[in-house]
Structure 1
Amino acid sequence: MGDRQELPPHGEPVREWSSLKDILYGSVRIVSKLFEHPFDLTKVRLQSQPLDRPLRFTGPWDCIVQTYKNEGVPAFWRGVSMPVVGAMAENATLFVVYNQSQTLLRRLFPPPPRLDPNSPAPLNIPLIATAAAIAGAATSFVLTPIELIKCKMQVSNIAAEGLAPAPAALAAAGINTTVTAPSSPAEAPGSIAVTRSVLREYGFRGLWLGQTGTLIRETGGGAAWFGTFELLAAYFVKRRADRGERSATGGHVSKGDLSALELMGAGATAGVVFNVVLFPADCIKSTLQTEDELRGKEASRNQPRRSFLQVGKDIYRARGIKGLYSGCGLTALKAAPSSALIFYIYSRLEAMFG
């Protein structure tokens, strides 16, 4: 690797980070997983309600109340093992590819030098967003199997309760939607059992069911996530510079001089934008990944699996644009503090260790 200059995750050129540091720093997101998971479980259950039946949950609060009454507090962390275990691989991929993509883009499109030769110019926002999109695309291939198992576990108790029987009209039409999941919450399968079931039914490729949705969400969302953070961080730096402030070392103000409130505010906004901008892709993905559990494997075998676009059309036709954004408010609510924490910790580690 040597001592050459390269761009770290926030666009400021400092000394090159080793891959080990990328993995270590990227893994700070593990801290947020336990906090996020009850919100995520509620979101997935709202997104994946079968279209051929009445809504089981009328909204986030109704889902939370029903989950608590029927399954108890532990249910809110059902499936948490997968995102926790996968967090290091997910974030290592994201930040390593992000850094390397910025290095490549910096060579292809060298930014104009600053007046201060000791403070090289950072990449502009479009190039930062491009690097983030590349990183998001790479990360999607790591995320899809993790989210597939997680989503299946999160809805397993709904299927197990047998509370979503086929409507009489569908039964009369001969459409089989019998639930074949376990008969009680206690028997809901764990992550290993669910993984084995997917491999047995669909082979290794089956782990990437929903990849299109994850790819779209992570590519566009990644660009929005990093781009929004960098845009706001640059605004805060400029505002301080316009007031005549200097860094602690006497040089120009940089991102390292921003306060915790500024860094966390930028991170929180970035988290909300990430989730809102391409939320329908996530909704379609969740529907695809949980269809077997909520409709029954026998019914799924008797019907060809729908494409990503077809599921999107079906959701829109049945529930309108609101259906494609089911659970979005709750997701944005949990994303704000989580993203604020991620960017704050990452930025502080970057300032301390380079």
Structure 2
Amino acid sequence: MSEVPPVPPPSSKKGGWKDFVAGNFAGMSQVIVGQPLDTIKVRLQVESRFKGPMDCFIQTVKHEGFFALYKGMASPLVGIGAVNALLFAAYSRLKSIQTTSLNEQLALYKIAIAGAGAGAINSVLSSPVELLKIKMQAQYGATAGSSGLIYKGPIDCAKHLISEFGIRNGLFRGFWATVTREIPAYAGFYSGFEFAKRKLTSEGSSPDSLPPSKLMLAGSFGGFSYWICCYPFDVVKSKVQNHKNPPKGILYVFTTINSIYKNEGARAFTRGISPTILRSLPAAGSTFTVYELTMRILEKV
């Protein structure tokens, strides 16, 4: 999920429910570890009051306390299981339809195509999950967000949005902006991850047999590739989803891009990228560590 893209776990011979459970715990750890930097990123994208990442961090902790960095965590924490399941299922299916033989190693461009398609499909779940997260993160201090309301939590936020705007313009606001971001994001993520895996694999070995330490490196590179490929579109998505009113017209992604450039300049499209890149490194490490430890426990069941 977009703000915190899940990293594919190491291959397991067991598969099935154990992979699903371990993947869920790994995704949760990724959210917990990455949430503070994600909150800083979102606030830099939607607010102009901060001078930079460090100023945002200091002001947030000073006026709201350290745990304000974890605002909006409930939505991705609860939704990570469904998002992971849909993403991995779509990615696996889109890879399989491009495969002509059992042991074929797909070209990286085919990996990118599968990732792009999986990202587009995944938007159905990631869009509302991230909308609720962003609405909570954007509430600075005791002041109301752009909606003029102070939401008590993601459920309260969802109720207000649906009551005022309905499902499409409320809970699914910014869906097409999410799709626009997810397509290049997951094309970059999966192809970057696979590229790094192959480069880290010694001659005569399989990329699927890499040890956790090298998988962490590959996952970190995948996370880096994810954000490099999509970050300007992530800024657009955050702006759209945090706005008080739903966007107008089917081409609102392009009009929003034009508005941001006209009012804030080109630098606005990279605002908050440094904490985002930094976040991908520990997030990937925690994901694989928790996955491996969980699988070891489950293998004994």
Q: Is the TM-score greater than 0.5? A: yes
What SS does structure 2 have at the residue aligned with 1:156? coil
Structure 2, unaligned runs of 5 or more: 1-7
Deviations 1:290-321 (A, max 9, x none): 111xxxxxxx49x9689221111111112222
Superimposed CA distance per residue, residues 250-309 of structure 1 (whole angstroms, 9 cap, x where no aligned partner): xx41124434332211111110110121101110111111111xxxxxxx49x9689221
Percent identity over paired residues:
30
- Residue identity opposite 1:181 in structure 2: L
1:24 shift after superposition: 3.0
TM-score normalized with structure 1 length: 0.73
Q: Which residue of 2 aligns with 1:201?
A: 164
Pairs aligned (count): 287
8 A Cα contact 2:61 2:68, kept in partner: yes
Residue 189 of structure 1 pairs with residue 189 of structure 2: no
Secondary structure class of the residue paired with 1:224: helix
Determine which of 17, 21, 26 is the counterpart of 1:24: 21
Distance in 2, Cα, partners of 1:328 & 1:278: 11
Look up the equivalent residue of 1:280 and give its one-letter code.
P
Which residue of the partner structure matches residue 185 of structure 1? none
> Are 1:38 and 1:76, in contact at CA under 8 Å, matched by a contact in 2?
yes
Residues 115-142 of structure 1: CA distance to partner in whole angstroms, max 9, x if unpaired?
xxxxx23222222222111111111110
Q: What are the within-5 Å matches in structure 2 for residues 256-271 of structure 1?
A: 256-271=208-223
Determine the structure 1 residue equivalent to 2:241.
289
Flag the 1:345–1:226 CA change in 2: closer, same or farther, 3 A: farther
Rounded Cα–Cα distance in structure 2 between residues aligned with 1:145 and 1:340 = 27
Which structure has more relative contact order (CA 8 Å, sep 6+)? It is 2
Letter in 1 for 2:205: V
Q: 1:310 aligns with which of 255, 259, 264?
A: 255
**Residue 73 of structure 2: which of 61, 69, 80 is its match?**
80
Do structure 1's residue 130 and structure 2's residue 113 form an aligned pair?
yes
Structure 2 match to 1:3:
none
Q: CA RMSD in A?
A: 3.0
Counterpart of 2:21, as a letter, is L
**Partner SS state of residue 58, structure 1:** coil
Structure with higher Rg: it is 1
5+ residue gaps, structure 1: 1-8, 50-54, 114-119, 165-176, 183-187, 242-251, 293-299
Match of 1:325?
A: 270
Selected match of 1:42 from 40, 43, 48: 40
SS of equivalent residue, structure 2 residue 139: helix
Q: Which residue of 2 aligns with 1:92?
A: 85
CA gap 1:130/1:341 in 2 versus in 1, 3 angstroms: farther
What's the counterpart of residue 4 of structure 2?
Answer: none
Q: For residues 153 and 290 of structure 2, what CA distance do their matches in structure 1 show?
A: 32
Question: Is the contact between residue 9 and residue 288 of structure 2 (CA under 8 Å) also seen in structure 1?
Answer: no
Q: Residues 16-58 of structure 1, C-alpha deviation per residue, up to 9 Å, x if partnerless?
A: 954x456335422111111111111111111112xxxxx3111
Displacement of 1:347: 8.2
Secondary structure (helix, strand or coil) at the match of 2:287 reads helix
- Cα distance in 1 for residues equivalent to 2:91 and 2:65: 40
Q: In the TM superposition, what is the alpha-carbon distance from 1:180 to its structure 2 partner? A: 2.9
